[in-house]
């Protein structure tokens, strides 16, 4: 179990009872879905850095955090100790990382894992063009019990250790999660200053994470937090539309990039369009003369402009996206439901006005699948 999500049961029983708190295990969607129930990530360009330049946070969360620190430092508290002093005066040790970079690093790991399992196998010989690789990858997902995500939507939705809750942009951690600190702070809630800590958090508009009590969670329902939101003309109603990106709007582009990179890696194609793994031999039997010969097979090279603009139309990618999302969500659609989904997608795509029809179709796929659970 990750240290970040672990706390011994006796401490957890006490944590579960204190007020102004949230359990992010039970509320795993908090900060990850918008008001329509769609998964989102913060627009990192619209966030500001803490003074340590390591992490970003939204402007109103930044202001509320310094109000919290001000309030804690104003209180005459006995026995703060080294840990208490750090909590009240130091910068955050973790706020929002760039969600897209975190996901892209994960995709790189996923590619390496896929490549290791493919290279040198019989399946590798069957891949002579990029669509073969796409189909092979989907078939691999179908038989992979680990159910590891490949789309950004599923990645953000998952509980992988890659995806710290702080990725939502609404949370700030005040201590690192090194094992020594975890052990040292197992009785965090028993510190003499803890009740003041919780009260100061509430005054600034934060909840305290029950399982990781040194994590502050911006409470979008708090009137105290609204004071800081109002300063920037932010409301609960416009917040997600103004400062977040729908993951569905990025999913298919990331899939296109992933499959192109994987195929180019397979054929050894460089940026100069040279390829070192185009040819391979394949044993073929000639029945007439009862001989086995080595047949030479040539893989196709890939031109990026053709790949993105000519080879595959939007409906090709929508169908592949549907296949992948169904597998990721472990949903079984009967023929009737699948046909309805496809029909709806075609209608939405053709009727989309003023926006990106592919994005609108992707959004609908996710909303449809959520309704099937």
User: pLDDT tens, 48-99?
Assistant: 887 666 788 899 999 999 899 888 776 555 545 444 555 555 566 677 889 9
Q: Are residues 110 and 192 located together in one domain of the fold?
A: no
- Asked if pLDDT for residue 46 goes beyond 90, the answer is yes
At 220 the pLDDT is 96
- Asked if pLDDT for residue 165 goes beyond 50, the answer is yes
200-209, 299-308, 322-331: least confident range = 299-308
Q: Please give the residue that has the higher pLDDT: either 252 or 212.
A: 252
DSSP state of 46: G
17-21, 104-108, 166-170, 261-265: least confident range = 17-21
Structural domain boundaries, residue 259: 100-160+248-371
- Asked if pLDDT for residue 106 goes beyond 80, the answer is yes
The percentage of the chain sitting over the pLDDT mark of 70, rounded to a whole number, equals 77
Q: Are residues 309 and 180 located together in one domain of the fold?
A: no
At 6 the pLDDT is 33
Q: Which of 175, 210, 236 is the last residue of a domain?
A: 236
Question: 189: helix, coil or strand?
Answer: helix
CB 255 within 8 A of CB 362: no
At 280 the pLDDT is 53
Q: Are residues 89 and 177 located together in one domain of the fold?
A: yes
CB 348 within 8 A of CB 360: yes
Q: Please give the residue that has the higher pLDDT: either 76 or 238.
A: 238
Residue 208 main-chain phi, psi, to 5 deg: -110, 130
Residue 48 main-chain phi, psi, to 5 deg: -120, 150
Q: Are residues 212 and 361 located together in one domain of the fold?
A: no
Q: Are residues 364 and 280 located together in one domain of the fold?
A: yes
Domain count, the chain: 2
At 180 the pLDDT is 44
Q: Are residues 154 and 209 located together in one domain of the fold?
A: no
Buried b (16+ CB within 10 A) or exposed e, 253-274: ebbbebbbebbbbbbebeeeee
Model pTM?
Answer: 0.85
CB 158 within 8 A of CB 18: no
Q: Which of 236, 265, 292 is the last residue of a domain?
A: 236
Q: Please give the residue that has the higher pLDDT: either 181 or 314.
A: 314
At 128 the pLDDT is 86
- Asked if pLDDT for residue 245 goes beyond 50, the answer is yes
CA 310 to chain centre: 30
88-97, 98-107, 149-158, 247-256: least confident range = 88-97
Identity of the highest mean pLDDT range in 48-52, 67-71, 132-136, 212-216? 132-136
Domain assignment of residue 243, yes or no = no
- Asked if pLDDT for residue 313 goes beyond 90, the answer is yes
CA–CA dist 153, 39 (Å, integer) = 6
Q: Are residues 253 and 327 located together in one domain of the fold?
A: yes
Domain assignment of residue 276, yes or no = yes
Q: Please give the residue that has the higher pLDDT: either 80 or 33.
A: 33
Domain assignment of residue 241, yes or no = no
What is the signed CA dihedral for 128, 267, 102, 316, rounded to 10 degrees? -30
Quick one: tokens of 147? 């159910």
Domain assignment of residue 211, yes or no = yes
Q: Are residues 193 and 279 located together in one domain of the fold?
A: no
Domain assignment of residue 117, yes or no = yes
At 52 the pLDDT is 64
Q: Which of 236, 261, 280 is the last residue of a domain?
A: 236
Domain assignment of residue 342, yes or no = yes
Domain assignment of residue 185, yes or no = yes
Q: Are residues 51 and 62 located together in one domain of the fold?
A: yes
CA–CA dist 162, 149 (Å, integer) = 11
Q: Please give the residue that has the higher pLDDT: either 113 or 246.
A: 246
**pLDDT tens column, 267-302:** 885 454 455 565 555 555 455 555 555 566 778 888
Domain assignment of residue 242, yes or no = no
Q: Are residues 291 and 221 located together in one domain of the fold?
A: no
Q: Are residues 133 and 82 located together in one domain of the fold?
A: no
At 354 the pLDDT is 73
Q: Are residues 24 and 153 located together in one domain of the fold?
A: no
Q: Please give the residue that has the higher pLDDT: either 70 or 323.
A: 323
At 210 the pLDDT is 84
Looking at every residue in the chain, the average pLDDT score rounds to 82
């Amino acid at each position: 179990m990750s240290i970040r999500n672990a706390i011994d049961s006796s401490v957890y029983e006490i944590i579960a009872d204190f007020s102004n708190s949230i359990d992010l295990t039970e509320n795993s969607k908090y900060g990850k879905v918008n008001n329509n129930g769609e998964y989102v990530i913060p627009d990192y360009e619209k966030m500001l850095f803490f003074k340590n330049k390591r992490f970003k946070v939204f402007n109103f969360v930044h202001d509320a955090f310094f109000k919290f620190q001000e309030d804690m430092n104003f209180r005459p508290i006995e026995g703060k100790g080294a840990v208490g002093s750090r909590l009240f005066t130091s910068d955050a040790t973790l706020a929002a990382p760039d969600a897209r970079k975190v996901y892209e690093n994960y995709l790189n790991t996923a590619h390496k894992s896929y490549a290791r399992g493919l290279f040198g196998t019989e399946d590798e010989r069957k891949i002579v063009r990029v669509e073969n690789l796409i189909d092979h990858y989907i078939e691999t997902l179908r038989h992979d019990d680990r159910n590891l995500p490949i789309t950004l939507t599923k990645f953000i939705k998952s509980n992988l250790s890659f995806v710290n809750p702080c990725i939502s942009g609404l949370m700030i951690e005040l201590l690192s999660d090194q094992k020594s600190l975890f052990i040292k702070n197992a009785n965090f809630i028993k510190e003499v200053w803890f009740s003041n800590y919780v009260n100061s958090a509430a005054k600034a508009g934060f909840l305290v994470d029950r399982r990781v009590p040194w994590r502050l969670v911006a409470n979008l329902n708090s009137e105290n937090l609204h004071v800081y939101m109002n300063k920037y003309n932010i409301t609960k109603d416009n917040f997600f539309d103004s400062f977040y990106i729908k993951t569905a709007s990025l999913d298919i582009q990331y899939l296109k990039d992933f499959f192109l990179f994987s195929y180019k890696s397979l054929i050894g194609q460089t940026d100069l369009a040279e390829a070192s793994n185009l040819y391979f031999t394949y044993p073929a039997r000639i029945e007439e003369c009862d001989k086995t010969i080595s047949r030479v097979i040539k893989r196709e090279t890939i031109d990026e402009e053709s790949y993105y603009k000519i080879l595959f139309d939007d409906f090709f990618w929508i169908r592949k996206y549907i296949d992948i999302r169904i597998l990721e969500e472990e949903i079984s659609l009967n023929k009737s439901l699948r046909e309805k989904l496809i029909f709806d997608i075609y209608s939405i795509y053709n009727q989309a006005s003023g926006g990106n029809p592919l994005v609108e179709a992707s959004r609908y796929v996710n909303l449809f699948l959520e309704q099937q659970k």
